[in-house]
Structure 1
């Protein structure tokens, strides 16, 4: 008995010691992370480095343990970037902005929103300069807004026009005996096309060419306005790679000079009219509170962020689930100080069921408060489903939207199983339309699933028709899974006006008839202790980063496409993930 008591005491002592040691290390980590308060010094230049992952909404981690152990993911929120640039316009300590980033970790629509805000910044009379060793196309598009743009003497500008590459798996399926059984509606529903054929259909080529040209026209028009290079000349530059070295880039007016970093620093000091200007990074500037627009008004405009693919369930910061989103919608609806709601959508779609559940909650909300949708990089398929019943829909010109179509897809291993000598036998009590991944899809299962796909497609089109005040036939004409840019979608009646999140908030305020308001962001994302302490086997590096490093970007894309399709459950209202514009 004494031995057992001593054993229990030893075990308890061990766990208490481990707990105290854990608390001790947290304390040490917290002390090590203690930094001096950041202040914006006079004669400062705001440095824009946008290589950190940019999301529409990236709430600050409020878990002290995660911060102490440096487990917080590095990311920037688009709304805070825009607010910081807005605040910098009137900040007497900020002399100008320097764009110096290796690449832009944002989508094209997000990049265009930042560029538009920088255009507004220039109206304050303050300068914007840009410098880089090498510009990729998206980086050059953003940086071309600068008053003066410089390139390293041995650098280059990769200005070549837009393209996308789509991988097709039909021959792979035939060779290895693994295939996706697909039931779809919509001749443009190219999300599943790579599993049905080994080449691009004319319908898919038509829509892809159309939206690439639409986005390219936005890019070239904006560069023309900033650099005064005619669009025709920009296309000649792209066709002939006239940015491939510093001399050609300068001769074709893509840059204002070829200089080194130290010479660029001198130019910045001269522009700031000081001997040595101070610099402050965008992240530090935001941390001083400049990522918010302050007001004492009690009236609020709620901005609810729906970002990521749509999956049935709770959801999180990267996945739209009806649980978190609907909870946020209800909170905003019940808050008497919230006068209007803006739904910010950045999603290629996903589960049709989850989309319908979110649509219903928004339909209830619209009866009580104005509802405006702001579209980000993509608001297509299920992403458009949850947007279609808003009072107003605002999209960036480069937003990818539409894709009104649905499909069902299930994996099938019948051929590969036969090749390796596996036979599956089924026993059932009833003659229901069951499906086995080891047997060919039978007609009864196909018919039932096809009926479900058609029913959801009809419901989807009816939702759009009601929300957009169109007939079923009018929506069906522009549906069929067809993808449009924001600029094209206006012509088709799917979008009301072009603009960014700030424009959507302003329109929502006008609908609510309020002139003084503050913005309240939803949802709240909180990680519990167990999730925070869930260490990766690769340390602080994510599994995705390890796979990209091991496989390379193109092979990782192939892996990711197959993996996403493998995990689909239920009928999908989803845009193709395979469009990688570059």
Structure 2
């Protein structure tokens, strides 16, 4: 027994010592991170805009990077990037912008906001140079805002037009003997097509041709203005396949020259009036964000910006989703906070749970009775994303925003044949009522049960249209004519009356301030609120490690496909207001 106590107390002492040491080390790290000096922009700085970085709606923070005081650890939001470019316009330390434009990880609407910011920066007279070894069309959309565009001599420029691809799973489900049992309202509601068709329906092909054509038209218009080439000529270059090499891109004046990296650097040095071979003070967007502050009004009134990015879900969800449990409370707090004079809801969501969308819609409706509510739409604000947007005082969208998709569907899978014929599993049951096991998944629905599900889907669709009619002050018959699950671009949604204005998040904030009568006397408050250091450590680390490991192992495209399959799982058994989930644009 004496030996036991000796070992026990020795172990306990060691545990206490190591815990104390660990706490002091952690405090040291935190102290180092919080007391370190801000990065310095320096003189003759060139701001680097790397389009391969996906700028999300809210800033991303890496707690481990913060511990080592790395300026690159934290990634600013899209809104921050736009405002930082605006800040650089009048910052005497920044002499120009260098756009890394090989690829573009941002959506078309996000790219539109970045492009507008660069165009505004050019008004300062400072230089903007874009370069990519091989440049994609989406990268070119932003790059053509630059005064000079270059590609690598052995690289090239993608110039082949746009395409949207859908994966269809009906054949696979038939081979597995899985019956999806789908119920939907809206002839354009194509989210379930991959499960019930082997190719696009004519209605879906029509709507996709229209909105994809609108995006392509915006792309050609931007290139036409920048390069002073007629859009018909640009369109023909793609139709004829004339741009296959970097030489072709230069021949048809889509780029200003073919240069290697060192030649680009020499041109920048000339712009800076520095000798060839000397170093260039390149400052990344991340570094600039850490080194400077964004000018916001410092008045007493606050405008809340609530970011709703991701799938709309009923359960608590994660940071990549719009959870009704979280967002109803966030909106409610902003409504009840008397220091908040207006709310801007930034929506970047393809939709999701119809019930969760209605929960959020209700809070928006209540908030609007107390203070102005303005919606700003990002890359996509469709179906459930439009549901939560429709009752605002004003709705802003970019020209290339995808919105609308007012429709509903439900999926109730039947695995009976799959279980029996593929796995040798059978089921049996005892019921106290005929419909006690309705939708259990191990048997087909009866004709009566199918009527129940279709009736519920139609009822939710009617409610959805009623919400839109009320919010947009339109007749429900008219709303039905532009609904039917159809996807619209922001430009067409404006004509249809689904949105009020074409404009960026900045425009929406300014309009909210105007409605609240605090144009020159407000500051911004962002929601959901940032997590504290420990929450970031416990949450971000685990998620980022898991995500990065899987992505590195299977590749980004396979990762995206896996995420889409997870979305299918989430949709089973709950009415959905969602856009097509297998949507890719090239």
In structure 2, relative to structure 1, the CA distance for the partners of 1:146 and 1:68 (3 Å cut) is closer
How far off its partner does 1:535 sit? 9.0
Tell whether 2:485 aligns with 1:481. Answer: yes
TM-score w.r.t. the length of structure 2 is 0.92
In structure 2, relative to structure 1, the CA distance for the partners of 1:226 and 1:336 (3 Å cut) is same
How far off its partner does 1:288 sit? 1.4
Residue 159 of structure 1 corresponds to: 159
1:288 aligned residue (284, 288, 291): 291
Residue 430 of structure 1 corresponds to: 433
SS of residue paired to 2:375: strand
1:389 aligned residue (391, 404, 407): 391
Kept in 2, the 8 Å contact 1:133–1:156? The answer is yes
Residue 195 of structure 2 corresponds to: 195
SS of residue paired to 1:55: coil
1:523 aligned residue (524, 528, 537): 528
When structure 1 is superposed on structure 2, of 368-377 and 37-46 the one drifting more is: 37-46
How far off its partner does 1:439 sit? 1.2
> 2:207, 2:531 → 1: CA distance?
40
How far off its partner does 1:579 sit? 1.3
In structure 2, relative to structure 1, the CA distance for the partners of 1:370 and 1:440 (3 Å cut) is same
In structure 2, relative to structure 1, the CA distance for the partners of 1:528 and 1:25 (3 Å cut) is closer
Superposed, 1:451-466 pairs within 5 Å as 451-466=455-470
> 1:374, 1:495 → 2: CA distance?
10
How far off its partner does 1:204 sit? 0.6
SS of residue paired to 1:432: coil
SS of residue paired to 1:285: helix
How far off its partner does 1:42 sit? 1.6
Kept in 1, the 8 Å contact 2:60–2:76? The answer is no
When structure 1 is superposed on structure 2, of 221-230 and 275-284 the one drifting more is: 275-284
SS of residue paired to 2:412: strand
SS of residue paired to 1:559: helix
In structure 2, relative to structure 1, the CA distance for the partners of 1:553 and 1:186 (3 Å cut) is same
1:502 aligned residue (500, 503, 506): 506
Kept in 2, the 8 Å contact 1:53–1:76? The answer is no
Residue 172 of structure 2 corresponds to: 172
Kept in 1, the 8 Å contact 2:170–2:198? The answer is yes
> 1:100, 1:494 → 2: CA distance?
36
> 2:408, 2:533 → 1: CA distance?
35
When structure 1 is superposed on structure 2, of 356-365 and 565-574 the one drifting more is: 565-574
> 1:155, 1:91 → 2: CA distance?
34
How far off its partner does 1:29 sit? 6.0
In structure 2, relative to structure 1, the CA distance for the partners of 1:463 and 1:94 (3 Å cut) is same
Kept in 1, the 8 Å contact 2:74–2:286? The answer is no
> 2:540, 2:292 → 1: CA distance?
31
Kept in 2, the 8 Å contact 1:243–1:254? The answer is no
How far off its partner does 1:3 sit? 5.1
**How much is the aligned-residue C-alpha RMSD, in angstroms?**
2.5
When structure 1 is superposed on structure 2, of 429-438 and 93-102 the one drifting more is: 429-438
Tell whether 2:114 aligns with 1:114. Answer: yes
Residue 134 of structure 2 corresponds to: 134
Superposed, 1:552-567 pairs within 5 Å as 552-567=555-570
In structure 2, relative to structure 1, the CA distance for the partners of 1:78 and 1:453 (3 Å cut) is same
TM-score w.r.t. the length of structure 1 is 0.93
How far off its partner does 1:48 sit? 1.0
Q: Flag structure 2 segments of 5+ consecutive residues without an equivalent.
A: none
> 1:241, 1:20 → 2: CA distance?
68
Provide, for residues 16-35 of structure 1, a one-character-per-residue CA deviation record: whole Å limited to 9, x for no partner. Answer: 35534544664676699797
Provide, for residues 54-83 of structure 1, a one-character-per-residue CA deviation record: whole Å limited to 9, x for no partner. Answer: 10112546x67974699x976441011011
In structure 2, relative to structure 1, the CA distance for the partners of 1:525 and 1:536 (3 Å cut) is closer
> 2:551, 2:239 → 1: CA distance?
30
In structure 2, relative to structure 1, the CA distance for the partners of 1:343 and 1:269 (3 Å cut) is same
Residue 516 of structure 2 corresponds to: 512
In structure 2, relative to structure 1, the CA distance for the partners of 1:69 and 1:80 (3 Å cut) is closer
Residue 47 of structure 2 corresponds to: 46
Kept in 2, the 8 Å contact 1:43–1:274? The answer is no
Kept in 1, the 8 Å contact 2:190–2:204? The answer is yes
Q: Flag structure 1 segments of 5+ consecutive residues without an equivalent.
A: none
> 2:66, 2:449 → 1: CA distance?
48
> 2:60, 2:260 → 1: CA distance?
37
How far off its partner does 1:346 sit? 0.2
In structure 2, relative to structure 1, the CA distance for the partners of 1:73 and 1:387 (3 Å cut) is farther
> 2:65, 2:18 → 1: CA distance?
16
2:301 aligned residue (283, 299, 302): 299
How far off its partner does 1:549 sit? 4.3
SS of residue paired to 2:296: coil
Number of residue pairs the alignment of both structures matches: 577
Provide, for residues 171-228 of structure 1, a one-character-per-residue CA deviation record: whole Å limited to 9, x for no partner. Answer: 1111112342211111111111111111110011011101000111111111111111
Residue 572 of structure 1 corresponds to: 576
Kept in 2, the 8 Å contact 1:316–1:324? The answer is no
Tell whether 2:260 aligns with 1:260. Answer: yes
Residue 445 of structure 1 corresponds to: 449
In structure 2, relative to structure 1, the CA distance for the partners of 1:514 and 1:540 (3 Å cut) is closer
> 1:551, 1:461 → 2: CA distance?
41
Provide, for residues 460-499 of structure 1, a one-character-per-residue CA deviation record: whole Å limited to 9, x for no partner. Answer: 1000000001111111111111111101111211111111
Residue 206 of structure 1 corresponds to: 206
> 1:104, 1:394 → 2: CA distance?
24
How far off its partner does 1:423 sit? 0.8
How far off its partner does 1:239 sit? 2.0
